[in-house]
Chain A
């Protein structure tokens, strides 16, 4: 599967490394060249410097032939914008995006983007840990 990841923070780098290890074709984009230091030395995918909200950057990263796009920058609105660009303009089939704001995550999901909110998921896990209800243990 050909995957393009926008944002090489901790989450982006870890997703990229894991998909690469499993033999997928990964391209990771970040505005800051220094962000790629988070990738392991074994990473065999492509690193592209640029803004993932720009259609030219996405095109250069090969979005036209991508099977999936993952937006994991720190900005909820940036992630949503790039996700819609990938879906609406480039017709990428699977578009995943991280949205910190749980309310926005839900709204964007209703607009066709697969969203994940670490706030909702994290809160649920930590409440479960504290009250001993969930199976998740630190």
Chain B
């Protein structure tokens, strides 16, 4: 794949390294001349010094043949503009880094894929530390499906049952069971669920409450 990365900060740099490692053709656009010079010394891929918000820069980067554009600058307004111009100038898939979680809605409405912002990632990390959060949103998939994590406590109605016995809402799937020791398993119907397990489940947003009731139990600690 030919991938254009707009923004050569830390996010752009590590992203470029990873994508080069997996044998992609990568070009990084960086506006700061000193940073651009540093990047071209350290990265095996191409580096273009310029403003990715300008159509001419994207043209010079070969936007018409790009498969993917990742806009990962620290400014949401720049990332929006880069993705919009990229879409007008080519057929690349566009992904934007969203720094302020409040801005996610606008990107969605404009039809641009977003990454969970660092802010959002840290927030959900903090949520993971809190015992009350038994349902943790992990990722929004473009299909409208969501990836969530469910923690099983002793009072969960499914503890001691097998995966086959869990009544899941429609279009929901238990993808992964992680035991308290952190060992992940792809579950079969016979996999037994234990207290302390974390389940990674794919589901629809409207089914999350149903899932919570079926898997985590009510907040009042019913007997199982």
Asked if A24 is at the interface (CB within 8 A of a chain B CB), the reply is no
Chain B 79-96 against A: per-residue CB contact (8 Å), 1 yes, 0 no? 011001100100000000
Asked if A133 is at the interface (CB within 8 A of a chain B CB), the reply is no
A55 to chain B, nearest CB (A): 6
Is B106 within 8 A of A81, CB to CB? Answer: yes
Asked if A111 is at the interface (CB within 8 A of a chain B CB), the reply is yes
A106 to chain B, nearest CB (A): 9
A110 to chain B, nearest CB (A): 7
Q: Which residues of A contact B (CB under 8 A)?
A: 53-56, 75-78, 80-81, 84-85, 88-89, 101, 103-104, 107-108, 110-111
Instruction: Count B-side interface residues using an 8 Å CB cutoff.
Output: 20
Is A77 within 8 A of B106, CB to CB? Answer: no
Partner pick for B81 among A80, A85, A88, A89, CB 8 A cutoff: A80
Is B54 within 8 A of A81, CB to CB? Answer: no
8 Å CB interface, B42-87 against A: 53-56, 75-78, 80-81, 84-85
Is B109 within 8 A of A89, CB to CB? Answer: yes
Contacts A54-B102, A88-B106; A80 near B55 (Cβ below 8 A): no
Q: Which chain A residue has the least Cβ–Cβ distance from B56? A: A103
How many inter-chain contacts with C-beta < 8 Å in the A-B complex?
55
Tell me which of B55, B81, B109 has the highest count of chain A C-beta atoms within 10 A of its own C-beta. B81
- Across-interface contacts of A54 in B (CB, < 8 A): 100, 102
Is A103 within 8 A of B109, CB to CB? Answer: no
Is A84 within 8 A of B80, CB to CB? Answer: yes
Asked if B105 is at the interface (CB within 8 A of a chain A CB), the reply is yes
B119 to chain A, nearest CB (A): 14
- Across-interface contacts of A85 in B (CB, < 8 A): 106
21 contacts between A and B (CB under 8 A): A76-B53, A76-B81, A77-B75, A77-B78, A80-B77, A80-B84, A81-B77, A81-B80, A81-B81, A81-B106, A84-B80, A88-B106, A103-B54, A103-B56, A104-B53, A104-B81, A107-B88, A108-B84, A110-B88, A111-B84, A111-B88
Asked if B220 is at the interface (CB within 8 A of a chain A CB), the reply is no
- Across-interface contacts of B56 in A (CB, < 8 A): 103
Is B77 within 8 A of A53, CB to CB? Answer: yes
A54 to chain B, nearest CB (A): 7
List 12 additional contacts besides A77-B75, A80-B84, A89-B109; criterion CB under 8 Å: A53-B76, A53-B103, A77-B80, A80-B81, A81-B106, A85-B106, A88-B106, A88-B109, A89-B106, A103-B56, A104-B54, A104-B81
